[in-house]
Structure 1
């Protein structure tokens, strides 16, 4: 855009000698101030206005340059052209000043949004104990920085606890709801010894929050979420799913979906739950990765409307480090959708490093653990 005024003037100067006398192309210079206002400030626009008037006078008053037998410097049509250029230049100056003000305001808003995102979705540590963590957040709108997708990892006495979720809806209320859930999770993760009890406490927190939200969607505001727990030194991952896409375990020889078929309802829809949340346990060995993601990943569509085949893509890539995995996923989603994402997307990858003795029997962890909270095994402290 900064070269557009120069190109515009060059085009007028090239066309002017080539056109008949009845086609004064120099009149096109009236638009030069507005063209300049797209990329420059008021002072440059004022200078471009003066330049346009001078060029119009030169082209009108120089017969050899304009291809005319006599000059038309003070012809009434050209005088009207000078006046119009000055008026358009004044409007262009005002437009440039307004544009700069709006750009500065937008820059301030984006800066505040980036700060809010760092508070809401603070950067995760790359390593917690024996876990290596990576995450990314991809907004469906290029102007947006934050939305209703969320993730968190909290080291506790019971192991590293992970959360990923997706708030129904958009806008400020979705962001506020996500912030409330993250704040409650960061606090309760240290207090609740049982993962199902933690999910119940999040259900209460979200329900309490929903009752205080104004608007017609109060009863419809819910959050799909997955709670995961990887105990210190253990080779198992425990999962409580609340209506969210199931996590994936990525092994060198397979990509497995951790879905027991007994997912609970989303948070704030606890009235639909007829029995306590179920804790499902799965083997999780060193070198394997746990991938948590929001439905923005699997609901990404290509030009034909086909959904993104996440598991098949992961199998075709082979073993990757967590950072490489999410970077590859990030690029692939953009390419698959043609840079036209329909929903916000978040993902969290956790890789178990070989840093401790085996404390949980993999044979017992290979089957989902459907016991209620009262029958759940004690968690290591």
Structure 2
């Protein structure tokens, strides 16, 4: 939005419902005309003026408060006009109908104003949360070293609460390291923890040689931060699930460490494999000195694709409460390149949940440069 764009003209247009087609106002206007004509043509003992209250009520469903008040004023005028026809209407009926139209117009206009105000506030919260999330969770480049990379962040339908899903990619002197994680919780606290983990990973990944040592360092930093910010009265454990992948520049296997995170999927040799590594506890549980991280090697050849995601994918439910069957759907995809894999995942996920995610979700797919086939889709 350009500076000065949100001025009085914009506010008035919003109140009038300018974001809707102007032709929509033709319906309540036609309704008023139809009721007046029907009242004029009806027998003398039939009075239809009370139906004019429908016009402002209908208008409030799609237009702003000013447009609703304008339609209400026209309805009042039409009510008065029908009372002046040759067959007079009892004055008490005219007054009662006029008061009813006025009161209903005022109530629905107020309700519409409050609804628009709430929508504006929610929109502002969403813009702030998106800006904060984008400042922390920068989009991954399409190419990182010898890898083609495709990332995706899907926000839940209610985006007022910032999620703790995260991902990052860092180059070392001989490899590329990728991180995907999910901080427990929502809001500013989760975003702060996510920012901490991302910052530590970006700083430490290029200089710490071993992947296990890197994961231990991340665990130590997350545990220290959790201990510093924890309140004595809190009994809930705060932790972060994470997976780290290292892909060497030279041909060779990829290394993976999974700390309580969703298992990665690997398309290798025409099959989709679940990288079911030895289970490690999540980061931040304060188990310093009592745990070690040992990476597991997976063959990662030319056409292979690794898919990483958060539990916003695997725990997404359909209207009947069934979880998204990631492994089953993945076996049906065309694993031509990271872009096609992420596109198929998004399509199947949205079909499963009918468009409304219950939780934020992050996805990263990687493949060696020049290995991808053309997408038949």
Q: TM-score range by the shorter chain?
A: 0.7 to 0.9
CA separation of 1:5 and 1:275: change in aligned 2, threshold 3 A: same
1:260-275 superposed matches below 5 A: 260=277, 262-271=278-287, 274-275=290-291
CA separation of 1:9 and 1:213: change in aligned 2, threshold 3 A: farther
Partner of 1:60: 83
Q: TM-score, normalised by structure 1?
A: 0.80
Partner of 2:261: 244
Q: Which has the higher contact order (CA 8 A, sep 6+)?
A: 1
Q: TM-score, normalised by structure 2?
A: 0.81
In the alignment, the residues of structure 1 paired with residue 295 and residue 283 of structure 2 have an alpha-carbon distance, to the nearest angstrom, of 16
CA separation of 1:23 and 1:116: change in aligned 2, threshold 3 A: farther
Partner of 1:210: 226
Measure how far apart 1:178 and its partner are. 1.7
Give CA-to-partner distance per residue, 1:97-139, whole Å, 9 cap, x none. 4444433333322221221121122111001121011111223
Q: What secondary structure does 2:287 align onto?
A: helix
Partner of 2:176: 160
Partner of 1:191: 207
Partner of 2:133: 117
> Between Structure 1 and Structure 2, how many residues are aligned?
347
Q: What secondary structure does 2:331 align onto?
A: helix
Partner of 1:290: 306
Give CA-to-partner distance per residue, 1:282-324, whole Å, 9 cap, x none. 1211221111111222223345544333222222123232112
Partner of 2:52: 29
In the alignment, the residues of structure 1 paired with residue 34 and residue 150 of structure 2 have an alpha-carbon distance, to the nearest angstrom, of 56
CA separation of 1:191 and 1:301: change in aligned 2, threshold 3 A: same
Measure how far apart 1:350 and its partner are. 0.6
Measure how far apart 1:201 and its partner are. 1.4
Measure how far apart 1:91 and its partner are. 4.4
Aligned with residue 231 of structure 1, among 248, 264, 282: 248
Measure how far apart 1:216 and its partner are. 5.3
1:256 corresponds to 2:279: no
In the alignment, the residues of structure 1 paired with residue 296 and residue 168 of structure 2 have an alpha-carbon distance, to the nearest angstrom, of 20
In the alignment, the residues of structure 2 paired with residue 187 and residue 20 of structure 1 have an alpha-carbon distance, to the nearest angstrom, of 85
Measure how far apart 1:49 and its partner are. 2.3
1:128 corresponds to 2:144: yes
Q: Does the aligned pair in 2 maintain the 1:251–1:319 contact within 8 Å? A: no
Q: Does the aligned pair in 1 maintain the 2:122–2:160 contact within 8 Å? A: no
Partner of 1:366: none
Show structure 1 runs of 5+ residues with no match: 64-69, 356-381
RMSD: 2.9
